[in-house]
Amino acid sequence: MEHLTILLLTLPGVFSLSAESNIDGWEGGSAAVHCKYELQKYRDHVKYWCKGYPWQSCHILKKSNSPQETHSRVTIHDDKKKGIFTVILSELKREDNGRYACGIEISGVTLDEGVYIDLTVSDKQLLWMSSPVITAQEGGAVSIQCHYSKDLTLSTKQWCREGEWDKFILGVDHTREGFTLNMKGLEMKDTGRYWCAIKKGEATIGTVMQLKVTAVRLLWVSSSVITAQEGGAVSIQCHYAAHLIHHVKYWCRGDEWSSCENLVQSGLCTPGDKRILNDDKTRAVFTVSVSRLDRADTGRYWCAAENNQVKLGSPVELRVEGSYSEPDGTITLCDS
């Protein structure tokens, strides 16, 4: 006689297993369903995700003890310290609409523990980014814009790293421009999947990008500390990788990358300005020339390049020293 597995639904008010009962996603987006369970009771049990209703039709799509393929649209991560297993649904499609269940295998009996979730996938995109994969350099900085629909204007948006759902990364909400993630001093360990998302109860819904931190230089200066004379002028060369040729180049100032104020950018130049930026695409280097230096110009600056709402940065420390002297009268010309 064939053994049947019956899903024993958790009753309201009884905590054995809980999850958000209704999840609204969109095509191309992702959802993370956080299924909470009694840690002492179910810590070492196999968890699973199935689709179908009633229980006889609930087809198991993924188990916690099965291989978690990198490119699979369904993965399970069981946090046995917190008593939460998270089901990650990637690249949602309209055909994913339906009733699902978080389940826990109960060995030796016919009753599994479970809770049902209704998933609705619409064609209305609420959060999106220009690129699903972003590469930035070790030691540098990156800013990534996540756009959102008007429906989420008043909603709380958040950035988080996949798997670190409670560790929110501070973002800057520019309303019309998007919700921006700013990171500086990048390390190789920062490589990973990051979510621009909204929270709904015990679920995280959003769009995901893969950040790759590389040791290959993408944007750099020969020296990160530059000393110049008060009253004089200085030129800083910012080198960049060939694939950044068509990016907009910036020179901005700020101790923090997230609040760096743009002072000058490529394509916008007026002869005689205190700061001039010339982009030499044949040599893959842009030069920032600053004249009439004074002590107030001392500070942290950033060479930056932006394209498709992704900005890369490399820090430069400018120190203006010495007593004031008459300017040398040199005027840097703009690109012809």
> Which residue has 């229980």 as its token pair?
55
Residue type, position 3, single letter: H
> Do the first three CATH levels of 6-122 and 127-214 match, i.e. the same topology?
yes
Mean pLDDT by 10 residues, the chain (336 residues): 44 68 95 95 94 88 84 91 95 96 83 91 92 94 91 85 84 70 94 92 92 96 93 95 96 93 87 88 96 94 93 96 61 58
Q: Give residue 332's pLDDT.
A: 59
Q: Which CATH architecture has domain 6-122?
A: Sandwich (2.60)
Rounded to an integer, what is the distance from CA 313 to the centroid of its chain? 16
Q: Give residue 2's pLDDT.
A: 37
Domain 219-321 coded CATH 3.40.920.10: no
Cα 318 to Cα 123: distance, rounded to the nearest angstrom = 50
Specify the CATH number of the domain 127-214. Answer: 2.60.40.10
* Domain extents in the chain: 6-122, 127-214, 219-321
Residues 6+ apart with CB under 8 A from 163: 77, 86
Provide the CB-side half-sphere exposure for 298 (13 A, CA): 12
Structure tokens at 184: 């500086």
Q: Indicate the pTM of the whole model.
A: 0.84
Q: Give residue 232's pLDDT.
A: 93
